[in-house]
Chains A and B, each alone.
Chain A
Amino acid sequence: MKPTVIAVAGKGGTGKTTICGLIIQHLAESGKGPILAVDADPNSNLNEVLGVEVEMTLGDIREKLKFQDSIADELPPNMTKQEYTEFMFGDALIEGDDFDLLVMGRTQGPGCYCYINGVLKAQIDKYQSGYRYLVVDNEAGLEHISRGILPHVDILLLVSDASRRGVQAAGRAAEMVREQNMNPKMMKLIVNRAPGGKLDEGVMEEIKKQGLDLLGVLPNDEAIYRYDAEGRPSSTVPKDNPVRQALRETLAKIDL
């Protein structure tokens, strides 16, 4: 059965990755696992938010395939690259109890993702049926989704900070989603770091102007900042943390 695919997108600095981690934590704690978490933003570190170590990314497998001549343990001559990728995929999957994490890794220049994307897509397609949810932390361009490496998105959550410019950026992302015909079943806006958990009128106006569908507002919170600063996984802030509470209520509106 196809899992429900939730994609979280927004520009850097909006707290998108933290929210992504909190969504995963929320689903796991509500007994909605297993979840496949996918870090598709090379500039974020979803693993730190979740508190797991990354040893190998899909990008590393790609490098291994691409530069195989220059490394000591070259491909076994009897294996096709597809078979080898299938074997290596298990190494790149970081496995937990309720969720597993897959890190897409960095891109290396234009165009070079083509071949490996094909074989990786085949593996992701094979694995995804084992999960109830796929939660993807995306870079702003949603490249892995638009290129079809990651499956069709059911729920797209745009994250913005509580500024007009932040909302405008989310508006541009929504525009791109429409242009590229990604057709998610639903696309919603979450505004993060709102002082006192409230939005002032100017921002509300901008949301309307951008044609965005506001799902929820999360307050600014010191505890999360402190966790992050101390290098503790911010998805593990206490349950009664105001951001977590607000997120729970927000997600309840879309039955998550």
Chain B
Amino acid sequence: MSALTDLIYAGSNAVAGLAEKAVNDAIAQYGADCPVAFPDTAYFFPTIYAATGVKVTKLGDLPACVGVLKSLISNKDDLGEALNAGLATAVGAEILEGLKYVGGAKPYENEAGIGFVPDPVIRSLGVPLVTGDIPGVAVVIGKANEDSQLAMVVKEYQTRGLLTFLVGDVIDQAAAAGVKMGLDFRVIPLGHDVTAVIHVVTVAIRAALIFGAIPPGDLAALLKYTKERVPAFVNTFGPLNEVVVSAGAGAIALGFPVIVDIDLGDLQVPGALVSVTNHVDTVAKSLELRNIKVKAKKIDICMGFSSAYEGEIIRKKDMHAEFYSGANPTCELVVMRDLDEIEDKKLTVIGPDIDGEPPVELPLATYVEVAGKKMQVDFEPVIERKIHHWFNYIEGVMHTGQRNLIRVRISKEAYEKGLRLKDLAEVIYFEVMDEFSSVVDKCQVTLITDKAEVERILREEAMPRYTARDDRLASLTDESVDTFYTCTLCQSFAPSHACVVTPERLGLCGAVSWLDAKATKELTPAGPCQPIEKKGLIDARTGAYEEVNRVVKEVTHGALEKVTLYSILEDPMTSCGCFECICGIMPEAGGVIVVNREYAGLTPTGMTFGELASMTGGGVQTPGFMGHGRHFIASKKFIAAEGGVQRIVWMPKELKDDVAERLNKTAKELYGIDNFTDMICDETIAVEPDAVLQFLQEKGHPALSLPPIM
């Protein structure tokens, strides 16, 4: 038997033994009926559920799982068989970690790691992963010989925008070396035990269930999905023991290459298990092995530039300069010009730069003029909104707000290293030409700190333009346009899903409006947003169009035959899995409940957001369930076929307050109801269906007098 398979089996057998003992001990202590669950997930023990279809809910379910686990360890001298044993290690790790949560315990509360990653976090990661904003996922495990070597690798991933999970002593080493951690910084410590690695494995596995609609129990489909669609890989630091090797085998079975920093000699498996002993090469080799392409950004400024700097906070003490609407006039404006009106790459600063003693406080107009044969006025705000992100991507620059309400800070460190206003202009120019190259041929950036001039721009150009844009947005309706758009951005994860984006129904992630879709079509003509001519009306009530059906069938490769735009019951639109909200029927009230991703409690349907969400997603059409964005709730087209927003009977308080103003306006316009949201129940009033009904009756909720919804 080869030394490698030997090691894998030794690790798998060790973990199997530990898991079996732990299960027996737990049953002896708590009893077989004691419930056991990971927090905030609808997928039970995700690895076991996805691989076998078994729903673990109590300790008594686990001995059978241990049996399955052991059956995966054949001890045969065959690499394929040994990789299966690696999966057994994953199952064992899941059981060992799951047992930590027995009786509602919070094992990670006082740990540096976060442990199990809740479903809502995974759903929120969907969009950045499909857009390539997060180009890949690195799992870093072990203990490095030197903190600095580890930090170099992790910071490199950070700079390139990857999401990094840390397991083991590397957590403390990264912290000691000053690596910024947290979801915002895209470095997530999981836990110190090697078994904590399962928490990233279940992220990949739940991605397959949530976005890929892989049926639980279909192990082959699961492995295919993770291999083809989850761009993850593993880096180990320090000496390997058999448990790490067998966990690594599990990673390889899922399609994730493992890069180790010790010399494995001829134990290496090309493409899957590779030694890179010089840490300088670790990142490049890892990305190459997983085929992750990172956009090479080469902006000539003295500070770092990456999406990983977006969460950076600059305290007043560390601040050199500030541009703040509360203290000085400010604005950000992108305007379209004719090609002969502007000069490409003309970067100008008008007024004083940020030199001087801190705090330097100045007015600021960020004035960006763009021209291009394909440029349209509608794209101005799309580009303008990106300024916020671009500034934040600069190390040492913090940006909040937009338009005429902004706060921009530049750190002392950035100033001392030489960052000046010209560099900000440089960044904007570079990014406009990089991201919007298909519509922008020329770009000219002017940063103005001269107070009188900023005030003039604000008064004469910016404010009138903002108002005009708002008016245009408010006047856009499904009736007033002749084209809708598909959005198949999520197909890299959810291959059988497509959104249909209309002016009154934005993409269900909440991130793609009709204007965004229109701009996307121009920016990447063969990209995810394709036009749908509004023709072939079948049913105006449900919003069914022959052309919509035809295009949807085409872009989902036949997975979907037809969808309606306005119905939750008749061919409802599908979802990928990263929706902000989910809407479900509450038949006894003749209405619907809407629940947002952030709400962790139960709803009157007896299900949590996660459980409701697991009913749909992955492009599956489930009448009675629909994922959508927050914004859509106040739309006049919200389940219009079933009667519209007056069917909404229950929402979490937080969501209700968020949408109240616009929802009340819609209800007033459609039905003449004042303060409609006062009639909608929430968890602070009641969750139990009878009590919800009683509240609705007291308030005279309109849904009660409508015909039954089903």
Judge if B402 is at the interface, Cβ distance under 8 Å. yes
Chain A residues within an 8 Å CB radius of B434: none
Q: How far is the CA of A181 from the CA of B316 in the complex (A)?
A: 36
Contact of A78 among B110, B185, B317, B403 (CB under 8 A): B403
* Given A114-B684, A129-B181, A129-B184, A183:B661 Cβ within 8 A: no
Q: How far is the CA of A98 from the CA of B318 in the complex (A)?
A: 11
Chain B residues within an 8 Å CB radius of A195: none
Chain B residues within an 8 Å CB radius of A115: 653-658
Instruction: Output the residue of B315, B405, B470, B682 with the most chain A CB within 10 A.
Output: B315
| Interface range for A | 35 or more
Q: Closest Cβ of chain A: how far from B149's Cβ, in Å?
A: 19
Judge if A34 is at the interface, Cβ distance under 8 Å. yes
Q: Which residue of B lies closest to A90 (CB)?
A: B407
CB proximity to A under 8 Å, residues B369-408: 381, 400-407
Q: How far is the CA of A181 from the CA of B85 in the complex (A)?
A: 39
Judge if B182 is at the interface, Cβ distance under 8 Å. yes
Binary B-proximity of A134-147 (CB < 8 A = 1, otherwise 0):
00000000000000
Chain B residues within an 8 Å CB radius of A129: 180-182, 184-185, 311, 313
Contacting pair B653 A114 (CB below 8 A):
yes
Q: How far is the CA of A66 from the CA of B658 in the complex (A)?
A: 9
Judge if A77 is at the interface, Cβ distance under 8 Å. yes
Judge if B109 is at the interface, Cβ distance under 8 Å. yes
CB proximity to A under 8 Å, residues B404-460: 404-407
Judge if B106 is at the interface, Cβ distance under 8 Å. yes
Contacting pair B106 A183 (CB below 8 A):
yes
Judge if B469 is at the interface, Cβ distance under 8 Å. yes
Contacting pair B180 A79 (CB below 8 A):
no
Contacting pair A76 B112 (CB below 8 A):
no
Judge if A69 is at the interface, Cβ distance under 8 Å. yes
Secondary structure at chain B's binding surface: helix, strand, loop or mixed? mixed
Q: How far is the CA of A243 from the CA of B400 in the complex (A)?
A: 42
Judge if B706 is at the interface, Cβ distance under 8 Å. no
Contacting pair B661 A127 (CB below 8 A):
no
Q: How far is the CA of A86 from the CA of B313 in the complex (A)?
A: 12
Chain A residues within an 8 Å CB radius of B324: 90
Q: Which residue of B lies closest to A74 (CB)?
A: B661
CB proximity to A under 8 Å, residues B287-327: 311, 313, 315-317, 324, 326
Judge if A220 is at the interface, Cβ distance under 8 Å. no
Instruction: Output the residue of A110, A129, A154 with the most chain B CB within 10 A.
Output: A129
Q: How far is the CA of A44 from the CA of B265 in the complex (A)?
A: 67
Binary B-proximity of A1-12 (CB < 8 A = 1, otherwise 0):
110000000000
Q: How far is the CA of A32 from the CA of B185 in the complex (A)?
A: 23
Instruction: Output the residue of B184, B324, B326, B405 with the most chain A CB within 10 A.
Output: B405
* Given A2-B112, A78-B466, A129-B180, A87:B407 Cβ within 8 A: yes
Contacting pair A90 B400 (CB below 8 A):
yes
CB proximity to A under 8 Å, residues B464-481: 466, 469-470, 473
Binary A-proximity of B311-347 (CB < 8 A = 1, otherwise 0):
1010111000000101000000000000000000000
Contacting pair A117 B654 (CB below 8 A):
yes
Chain A residues within an 8 Å CB radius of B588: none
Contacting pair A95 B110 (CB below 8 A):
no
Judge if A175 is at the interface, Cβ distance under 8 Å. no
Q: How far is the CA of A68 from the CA of B401 in the complex (A)?
A: 18
Binary A-proximity of B125-155 (CB < 8 A = 1, otherwise 0):
0000000000000000000000000000000
Q: Closest Cβ of chain A: how far from B512's Cβ, in Å?
A: 15
Chain B residues within an 8 Å CB radius of A91: 326
Q: Closest Cβ of chain A: how far from B235's Cβ, in Å?
A: 21
Contact of B653 among A68, A111, A126, A152 (CB under 8 A): A111
State how many residues of chain B have any CB contact under 8 Å with chain A: 41
Judge if A231 is at the interface, Cβ distance under 8 Å. no
Judge if B598 is at the interface, Cβ distance under 8 Å. yes
Judge if B540 is at the interface, Cβ distance under 8 Å. no
* Given A87-B407, A97-B317, A1:B326 Cβ within 8 A: no
Judge if B175 is at the interface, Cβ distance under 8 Å. yes
Q: How far is the CA of A204 from the CA of B703 in the complex (A)?
A: 62
Judge if A185 is at the interface, Cβ distance under 8 Å. yes
Q: Closest Cβ of chain A: how far from B303's Cβ, in Å?
A: 18
Contacting pair B110 A118 (CB below 8 A):
no
Q: How far is the CA of A110 from the CA of B684 in the complex (A)?
A: 9
Q: How far is the CA of A69 from the CA of B652 in the complex (A)?
A: 22
Chain B residues within an 8 Å CB radius of A83: 400-402
Chain A residues within an 8 Å CB radius of B466: 78
Chain B residues within an 8 Å CB radius of A181: 106
Judge if A239 is at the interface, Cβ distance under 8 Å. no
Contacting pair B317 A95 (CB below 8 A):
yes
Contacting pair B180 A1 (CB below 8 A):
yes
Chain B residues within an 8 Å CB radius of A185: 110
Chain A residues within an 8 Å CB radius of B403: 76, 78-79
Contacting pair A130 B315 (CB below 8 A):
yes
Chain A residues within an 8 Å CB radius of B401: 79, 83, 86-87
Judge if A221 is at the interface, Cβ distance under 8 Å. no
Q: Closest Cβ of chain B: how far from A98's Cβ, in Å?
A: 8
Contact of A69 among B109, B185, B656, B661 (CB under 8 A): B661
Q: Closest Cβ of chain B: how far from A75's Cβ, in Å?
A: 9
Q: How far is the CA of A241 from the CA of B494 in the complex (A)?
A: 66
Contacting pair B661 A86 (CB below 8 A):
no
Contacting pair A126 B184 (CB below 8 A):
yes
CB proximity to A under 8 Å, residues B650-702: 652-658, 661, 682, 684
Q: Closest Cβ of chain A: how far from B705's Cβ, in Å?
A: 27
Judge if A100 is at the interface, Cβ distance under 8 Å. yes
Judge if A81 is at the interface, Cβ distance under 8 Å. yes
* Given A118-B598, A129-B313, A68:B185 Cβ within 8 A: no
Chain B residues within an 8 Å CB radius of A98: 317
Q: How far is the CA of A2 from the CA of B109 in the complex (A)?
A: 12
Chain B residues within an 8 Å CB radius of A130: 313, 315
Binary A-proximity of B151-193 (CB < 8 A = 1, otherwise 0):
0000000000000000000000001000011101100000000
Chain B residues within an 8 Å CB radius of A34: 315, 317
Contact of B313 among A2, A78, A116, A127 (CB under 8 A): A127
Instruction: Output the residue of B106, B109, B185, B473 with the most chain A CB within 10 A.
Output: B109
* Given A126-B311, A129-B180, A185-B110, A79:B405 Cβ within 8 A: yes
* Given A83-B401, A118-B598, A95:B316 Cβ within 8 A: yes
Q: How far is the CA of A86 from the CA of B310 in the complex (A)?
A: 13
Q: Closest Cβ of chain A: how far from B73's Cβ, in Å?
A: 37
Contact of B402 among A2, A78, A95 (CB under 8 A): A78
Chain A residues within an 8 Å CB radius of B652: 114
Contacting pair A78 B180 (CB below 8 A):
no
Chain A residues within an 8 Å CB radius of B182: 129
Q: Closest Cβ of chain A: how far from B124's Cβ, in Å?
A: 11
CB proximity to B under 8 Å, residues A175-232: 181, 183, 185
Chain B residues within an 8 Å CB radius of A66: 657
Q: Closest Cβ of chain A: how far from B384's Cβ, in Å?
A: 10
Chain A residues in the interface with B (C-beta under 8 A) = 1-2, 34, 66, 68-69, 76-79, 81, 83-84, 86-87, 89-91, 95-98, 100, 110-111, 114-118, 126-127, 129-130, 152, 154, 181, 183, 185
Chain B residues in the interface with A (C-beta under 8 A) = 106, 109-110, 112, 175, 180-182, 184-185, 311, 313, 315-317, 324, 326, 381, 400-407, 466, 469-470, 473, 598, 652-658, 661, 682, 684
> Can you report 27 A-B residue pairs in the complex whose CB atoms are below 8 A from each other?
A2-B112, A34-B317, A69-B661, A76-B402, A76-B403, A77-B470, A78-B403, A79-B401, A79-B402, A83-B402, A87-B401, A95-B316, A95-B317, A98-B317, A100-B315, A111-B653, A114-B684, A115-B653, A115-B654, A117-B654, A126-B311, A129-B184, A129-B185, A130-B313, A183-B106, A183-B109, A183-B110
Known contacts A78-B402, A114-B684, A130-B315, then 13 further A-B pairs from the complex at CB < 8 Å, ordered by chain A residue: A1-B180, A2-B112, A76-B404, A76-B405, A78-B469, A79-B401, A84-B405, A87-B405, A96-B316, A96-B317, A110-B684, A111-B684, A115-B657
| Shortest beta-carbon contacts, A-B, top 8 | A115-B657, A95-B316, A114-B653, A87-B401, A130-B313, A115-B654, A118-B654, A111-B684
